[in-house]
Amino acid sequence: MRIHILGICGTFMGGVAALARELGLDVEGSDANVYPPMSTQLEALGIALKSGYRAEHLQPPPDRVVVGNALSRGNPAIEYLLDAGLDYVSGPQWLGETVLCGRDVLAVAGTHGKTTTSSLLAYLLDSAGLAPGFLIGGVPANFGVSARLGDGAPFVIEADEYDTAFFDKRSKFVHYRPRIAVLNNLEYDHADIFPDVAAIQRQFHHLVRTVPGHGRLIVNAEDARLAEVLAMGCWTPVETFGIEAGDWRARLIAADGSAFAVRRGDVMLGEVHWNLLGRHNVMNALAALAAATAAGADPVALLPAFAGFENVRRRMELIGERGGVRVYDDFAHHPTAIATTLAGLRARIGPGRIVIALEPRSNSMRAGAHAEGLAPALADADAVVLLARPELAWDTAPLIAALGGRGTAVPGVDALLAALAAQTRSGDHVVFMSNGGFEGAPRRFAAGL
C-alpha cells in the first residue's frame, strides 16, 4: 500500500510517516518546505520527499492520502485530491485506526508540558522493561527518534488539543481512545481556533468521555479548570498529583526542582535526583510517574531512572558556553511556560543575570492574546530583547514600558543579535524563547560569542 502524507515535515506528521514505514507501507510525502531535522530523519527511512503542494505530487494516485492539519481549502494539493476523489484521512484518524487500535494507549494532554511528560513517560515505561511505542512532538534524547511502534502493549501519545484537519474540527486527541489519560493543566491558548477557555474545556471533556471505566485519569490537583472539566461528568477512576495537593505529591529538596521527594498518599516512596529544573517539571515528573504506575510499573523501582532522563531538545537546552556566557534554546511560547521556566533557572543560578530573546511566534502570541501576561511572566529576567516583526498584530510599546527599562523591541533577527551582543557580559545566562526556528538565532549567537 502506498500512502502520501501532506505536511510530512511537521513533527507529528513526520512521526506518522515513521510509524507507517515501520509497518512496511510504501510512504512518500510533501511539505511546503522540506527541511531538516525531520527531512533528514525521513530520508534515512527511505521516504521520498517532495517540496511544495502540487497536484502532480499526487500523480499517479496513491492508495491513500494522509492530510496534516496545516493544510486548508484552497491549497492546490487539497483541491486536487477532492476533485479527483482520492481516498484521504487525517493524521490522527489514521494513527488511531492503524496504530493505536488494540494498544494500551497512554495519552498526555495539557496546555503545557505535553512533550516533556510524554517523553519522560515513554522513558520510564522503557526503563521498566515494557518496551513502549510512542509518538511525541519532539525528539526525546533518550531515544533519538520522535516515534516508534515498540514491542510492548503500551503506546504513549502526545495528545494535542489543536484541531484535526480542514474537514475535522475536533481536537486531535479524540481519535486516540486512551486507557490512561494525563490531564496536565489547562489554560487559554490557540486563539486562532478557540474563542475562549470554555471551548477548550469542552474538547478536554470529549477526551474524558473516551477513557473507559477500567482505565485511569491522572489529573493535576492544582488546576481549577481541570476540576471544572471533571465536573461535567467523569466515568473513570481519577488519581491526582500536585505539590500542594493530590494523591501523588512532591516535596522539594532543592529549590530549583532538581531534587525532590515523592509521596503517594501516606507512603513516602523515595527521592528523585535529575537534571531538569523548575516546579513545572516536578509536576511533569509526578504525572509521568503516576501514569507509568497505572500502566503496571513499580514506582519505587522507577525513581533511580529519573537520573538518566534527558529532556527533549529545545527545552532549556544548553547549546553553547563561551567567555562565561551560557546560551540556551527553549520552546516556551506562553506566559505561564515562560514564567515557570525562568523561575526554575533563577532558583538554580541565584543572582546571576538572565537575558531573554523572545519571539512571539505562535498564533496566539502573534494575535496578542497573551500580550498582557508577558511582562509579569518575564519578572525573573534582567533584560529582554523582543523580536517585534513588522507583521506583529499588536503594539509592543506597552510591554516594553511595563518592563521598566529592562526591555527593548527590534524589528529583525540581525538587530536582535546585535542588541544582545551589546549588553551581554561574562556570567550571563542568555535564553532564546520561541516555538519556531528563530532563523537560527540561538546558534548564531552562541557561535559569535
| Order of all β-strands in the sheet with 407-410 | 317-322, 325-330, 429-433, 354-358, 383-387, 407-410
pTM: 0.84
Strands 216-220 and 168-171: unpaired
Nearest-angstrom CA–CA distance, 41 and 39: 5
- Of 434, 416, 308, nearest to 365 by C-alpha is 434
Domains along the chain with CATH numbers: 2-90 (3.40.50.720), 102-308 (3.40.1190.10), 317-448 (3.90.190.20)
Q: Grid coordinates in use for 254?
A: 532543592
With cut-offs at 50, 70 and 90, classify the pLDDT of residue 138: confident
The 10s digit of each residue's pLDDT in 340-366 is 788 888 988 888 899 999 898 876 777
Nearest to 5 by CA among 36, 39, 414, 321: 39
Instruction: Compute the distance between CA of residue 3 and CA of residue 58 in angstroms, rounded to an integer.
Output: 10
Q: Helices (DSSP H) in 23-103: which residue ranges?
A: 38-44, 76-84, 91-95
Q: What are residue 226's phi and psi, to 5 degrees? A: -70, -35
Between these two residues, 194 and 222, which has the higher pLDDT value? 222
Q: What's the pLDDT at 344?
A: 81
Mean per-residue pLDDT of the chain: 91
**pLDDT tier at 254 (50, 70, 90 boundaries)?**
very high
Mean predicted confidence (pLDDT) in 414-423: 90
Report the percentage of the chain scoring pLDDT > 70: 98
Residue the block writes with cell 510530512: 8
* Interatomic CA distance for residues 449 and 445, integer angstroms: 6
